[in-house]
Structure 1
Amino acid sequence: MRLRLSDFAGDWTIAREIEQMGARPARFEGRARFTADGVGLAYHEAGTLTLPGAAPMRAERAYLWREEGAEIIVLFPDGRPFHRFDPSAPAAQHWCDPDDYRVRYDFVPWPEWHAEWRVTGPRKDYTMRSLYRRG
């Protein structure tokens, strides 16, 4: 199956775990929505982030998703580039000096899918795994 940007449209549940070396994992449970914005899809997620030893807090983020040929381009809300990937070879990288962000998407169990981010830098060292399910 060849995924297109339009395949992501709609509502998703998210279960996320954030692992930092030497610490208990943080967790995020929430919902994401991809809505048409006239150019592509606007992505917005919101939910509850629970950090070890802290009270749960509300968390949210937004991106813009665009399609260019076989690739999906992910932008920050202000239009700056974040990363791009081909769903048939779903890996990407983003350099945000001095930090390195690398992602691998897994669309094999579609319509369930996974995103795994590995982030490293002078003050960052974590892996973030997200599971998306229709809902």
Structure 2
Amino acid sequence: MRFLPVPDVLDHLMGEWRVTRTVRDLADGSEGGFAGTTLFSPLPAPDEGGLLHRESGVFTWRGTARPAERTLRFLPGEPPGTARVEFADGRFFHGLDLRSGRHTADHPCAADRYDGEFEVYDADRWRTRWRVGGPAKDLLLITDYVRVRVGAGGRRVTGCPAPSTSPEPPGT
């Protein structure tokens, strides 16, 4: 699989993305999912140059659907072209360097550990995989992002889903 190098992650992410996420509990086989959108918009001063990530949609788990949302901050990283990802309250989450089109990250959270992989397929499609392990968690979260564009007459149009030749096709 070839990945698209991204010279500047913040420029690449700017805009609206359709999001589909599969969540699997590897301990008991339960599976759920999230469907919604993520909007990357400019952060207000004093964090100019960064992006506010607002995700909203519906999370379904064990047959129950409920509204879900989260907010992250993507700030310019070092070296240039990379990002520092923070939770809404400013706590560090992980770095993000997509200059090769692919990145791995980790995040310790109390007794749990989040190991992430990021892959960019083209200008309009990318994917994250988070493996979450700990004393009470054994999860796999796979999220596909497809850029939303405004077409003729203001109609919103999305690209194709992630390529089926990737190691984990969407919806599996």
Q: TM-score range by the shorter chain?
A: over 0.9
Residue pairs, 1:48-67, within 5 angstroms: 48-54=58-64, 56-67=65-76
* 1:36 aligned onto 2:36: no
Compare 20-29 and 38-47 and name the one that shifted more.
20-29
Q: Which residue, 80, 103, 126 being the options, matches 2:91?
A: 80
CA distance in 2, matches of 1:63, 1:128: 17
Give 1:110 deviation, angstroms: 3.4
Q: Which residue, 32, 55, 67 being the options, matches 1:45?
A: 55
CA deviations 1:90-110 (Å, max 9, x no partner) are 110001121100100011333
TM-score, structure 2 normalization: 0.74
CA deviations 1:22-78 (Å, max 9, x no partner) are 223101000000000124000000001111132x10000010001222421100111
Aligned length: 134
Give % identity.
30
Query: Residue 12 of structure 2 aligns to a residue in which SS?
Result: helix
User: Gaps (5+ residues) in structure 2?
Assistant: 149-172
1:91 is aligned to 104
Matched letter for residue 66 of structure 1: L
TM-score, structure 1 normalization: 0.93
Give 1:111 deviation, angstroms: 1.9
Q: Which residue, 110, 116, 119 being the options, matches 2:132?
A: 119
Q: Looking at secondary structure, tell me which structure has more strand per residue.
A: 1
CA distance in 2, matches of 1:31, 1:11: 7
